[in-house]
Structure 1
Amino acid sequence: MQAPTITLWQSPAEGRRAMISVTICSPSESLTAPWDDLVLRASPNPFMNPAGLQAAEATDFATVRVLLAWEVGAETRRLVGAWALHWRRVGGVLPAILEALPHAYAFQSAPVVDPHYVDQVIPAFLDAIEQDASLPNAVTLRSFDGESPAYAALRTALTGKGGVAVEVKRFDRPVVSPVFGVKRSGSTRKKLRQDWNRLSALGQVAVVNDRSPAGVAAAFETFLALEAASWKGAQGTALACDPIDTAFTRRMVLGLAARGDASVAVLQIDGRPIAAQVLMYCGTTGYTWKIGYDAAFGKFSPGALLVDHITEQLFAAGFQAIDSCSAENTFMSQLWSGRRTMVDLVIDVGPRRSLGFVVELARQIGLQRLRELRNRLRNWQGAATAKKLAVRPYPATSR
């Protein structure tokens, strides 16, 4: 790899002049200590964790470039922002672009930034991308937190430097906190109690979330097996269906677990696993990354039961929020009433519209329209099937 690129950018911060130095590098173990300090102060994003990024590089799953913003000029240099970007060329022929989701299994693209420096760090990141000849100016940002200070700073910075941002999609993501979002009453809560009681009638039910590295390793294999045996396995979309995906995600989860940043919660009946939820942690926020369950117990809603119980466990342990990593039309939206606005957009950090930006914007708009068409067809097919299966009362007879 080429030597790290360094860009200096000055702006007032915390009432005084501060110098922000941006370095661009590949993921490495040396980022661990600065990262640990940053997440104590910054907005969370587990997909920017150096352990996960190193897994992507080590398995050749993604080419990742990490932008690091440092406050310099004080007694010691301090990390105040981190943003991992995936360098890719779609199909091997289209212009290269940057993807702010650092790999295919990331679900949050916002940078991790100290809130006191967000108005300095975001422009510095954009300048660094533009000034580095090895990086494309076009950046796709999917699942970007539209309510974060970083989003407002991004739009302001692009306007100020003559860049452009085009919003492709806006959607709501289910989230929950100890004080808002948990449905304590109503039909959802009633069904959860009924399902738990019916399941308990079959045997001893327990939720196990062993966060030791060995415990996580064993539980992740349980998750892989459950997911592979489900409809995802039948459709070829389970992680275990692709050895490359399996190798990367296993290394990522175990690398995070070694730092205490991932675990796998398992719902068991008489010791038999019937659902497994992979969890990630960043600061005081938990993330429900992937879930698998035994279809033989589907009528008991094992996935919903597991998420409901692990939610209470995490809050009892001091977590302040849980992010579903999912869209609004999933079962998470039935469990949690909290929502966070997420945005998909394509930006160009330069004053000119690069070919990469034009091509990527057209591609993203086309993909979004195809998804919308697919969803309409699914809804139509579902409604047609439901109509055919609807139970109608038999007419009265005079037998």
Structure 2
Amino acid sequence: MIALPRAASAQVEIVEADALAREADAWDGLVARACDPHPHFSRRAIAAHRAAGLAPDDLRIVTVRRGGRLAAALPYRLRRDLSGLGGLVAQPFLSPFVTATPPLVADDEDLAATLAALVAGLAAASGGRAWRWRLLPVETRLGQALLAAMREAGWTCGRVAAFGRPILERRASHDAFLDGHPHRSRFKDLRRRERRLAEAGQVAFETATSGDALAGAVEDFLALERAGWKGAAGTAMACRPESAALARALFAQAGGPVSPRADILRLDGRPIAVSLALVAGGTATLLKTAFDESQRAQAPGLILEAGIVRALHETAFADRLDSATLSGSVLEGLYREREMIAEVIAVPPGNALPLDRRLRLARFEHAARAEAKRVLRRR
């Protein structure tokens, strides 16, 4: 544990994940009280990543305590990066299965003071080096306040890239959601496809949140994904032992403020689409969907996604759906709202390499990767 000088009424520490995990109630309590909550930096998700070998044993977390309570937490790593000319930069913890990286920050009247203390901790954690912050929601209340706290402390910040992620805010009813929807015809098309699917057998929607049903849904998901193009490409979760272990650990039955959920579309009892989500703070983060590609003509994955939208309005299992997607998702035609997700470079005062040069390097890297993907798709 590294303790920093106390900021006004705040205690800032850099601790190892093991140490914070021993304060299970405090960590869970922060997730439950978080502003803009998400599941990725919860005790459950970090423990699952570590158990699967997808997070280092010495993973560190910047923490802020106010009045004896945990008020903020951000797991991070130092990595060599092009934006630092190959030198070390700090990054929030990221894996292929983490879709957003804002810090966990308690939603209370002292938000600005908590963030000021957190920013001091970020500078200490990086040793004055820059932060390359991927997948940061920059237009939420928390995202705006975090960037403002950095600038107030003399940091310079700039966006490398950004995109609008589909988000769905629950309405009073499903009909209210569809009223005025710019792509309402898409839902009608999916209902037609569902009826065609029913001509081949009995169609059923199911939800699993615990026990054998949840464990079985996870195994069905792994099997469906591996049987499709991701399996052929070697990128399905079941293709890598550590990824399969993460899925099983994340969606194992456990207590705490993060709840697992699996939605299943069945045809004559056989799963043809499975969606896995984590629910925290009123938001269901839809992490992964897999479907039977032999049924592609009827779009079973999208039929299931439309079914989840109906279930949201009929059962109110959450207040909002976070698609957890990158740019270009098919859910852009179903979800009505957007949340701006950006990659940000933030440079603390006194750093020798200026922000504009870091941004040029990072944007060059983005362009090179995009071109490589384009070339590979043509082969």
Question: Which of these two proteins has the greater Rg computed from alpha carbons?
Answer: 1
> Alignment length, in residue pairs?
364
Q: What per-residue deviation string (whole Å, max 9, x for no partner) do you get for residues 27-74 of structure 1?
A: 2433431233233332211101111112223333223322222112xx
Q: What per-residue deviation string (whole Å, max 9, x for no partner) do you get for residues 223-247 of structure 1?
A: 1111111111111211122223323
Read off the aligned partner of 1:348 and give its amino acid letter. V
Gaps of 5+ in 1: 11-18, 382-399
CA distance in 2, matches of 1:336, 1:145: 17
Gaps of 5+ in 2: none
Structure 1 vs Structure 2 CA RMSD: 3.0
Task: State the SS of the aligned residue for 1:278.
Answer: strand
In the alignment, structure 1 residue 86 sits paired with structure 2 residue 81: no
Task: State the SS of the aligned residue for 2:99.
Answer: coil
Partner of residue 147 from structure 1, selected from 131, 135, 139: 139
Change (3 A) 1:233 1:135: farther
CA distance in 2, matches of 1:262, 1:172: 25
Q: 1:372 deviation in Å?
A: 4.3
CA contact (8 A) 1:162 1:351 kept: no
Change (3 A) 1:283 1:211: same
CA contact (8 A) 1:85 1:99 kept: yes
CA contact (8 A) 1:183 1:337 kept: no
CA contact (8 A) 1:126 1:349 kept: no
Q: 1:362 deviation in Å?
A: 5.4
Q: 1:370 deviation in Å?
A: 2.6
1:16 maps to none
Partner of residue 55 from structure 1, selected from 48, 58, 62: 48
Q: 1:318 deviation in Å?
A: 4.0
Q: What per-residue deviation string (whole Å, max 9, x for no partner) do you get for residues 325-374 of structure 1?
A: 0134111111112111111111123421469x899755532232134446
Task: State the SS of the aligned residue for 1:22.
Answer: strand
CA contact (8 A) 2:135 2:343 kept: yes
Q: In the TM superposition, what are the counterparts of 1:116-265 in structure 2 within 5 Å? A: 116-132=109-125, 137-179=129-171, 182-183=177-178, 186-254=184-252, 261-265=259-263
CA distance in 1, matches of 2:258, 2:244: 21
CA distance in 1, matches of 2:211, 2:97: 21
Read off the aligned partner of 1:343 and give its amino acid letter. A
Change (3 A) 1:212 1:253: closer
CA distance in 1, matches of 2:45, 2:258: 12
Q: 1:207 deviation in Å?
A: 1.7
In the alignment, structure 1 residue 112 sits paired with structure 2 residue 110: no
Structure possessing the higher relative contact order (Cα contacts under 8 Å, 6 or more residues apart): 2
Give TM-score scaled by structure 1 length.
0.82
2:268 maps to 270
Q: 1:101 deviation in Å?
A: 4.2
CA distance in 1, matches of 2:78, 2:250: 19
Change (3 A) 1:347 1:377: same
CA distance in 2, matches of 1:6, 1:341: 33
Task: State the SS of the aligned residue for 1:276.
Answer: strand
CA contact (8 A) 2:90 2:132 kept: yes
In the alignment, structure 1 residue 37 sits paired with structure 2 residue 29: yes
Task: State the SS of the aligned residue for 1:309.
Answer: helix
Read off the aligned partner of 2:49 and give its amino acid letter. A
CA distance in 2, matches of 1:53, 1:200: 41
Identity of aligned residues (%): 25
Task: State the SS of the aligned residue for 1:305.
Answer: helix
Task: State the SS of the aligned residue for 1:8.
Answer: coil
In the alignment, structure 1 residue 329 sits paired with structure 2 residue 324: no
Change (3 A) 1:353 1:286: farther
Q: 1:173 deviation in Å?
A: 0.3
Q: What per-residue deviation string (whole Å, max 9, x for no partner) do you get for residues 90-129 of structure 1?
A: 69x9433322243331010111222333212222122113
Change (3 A) 1:218 1:208: same
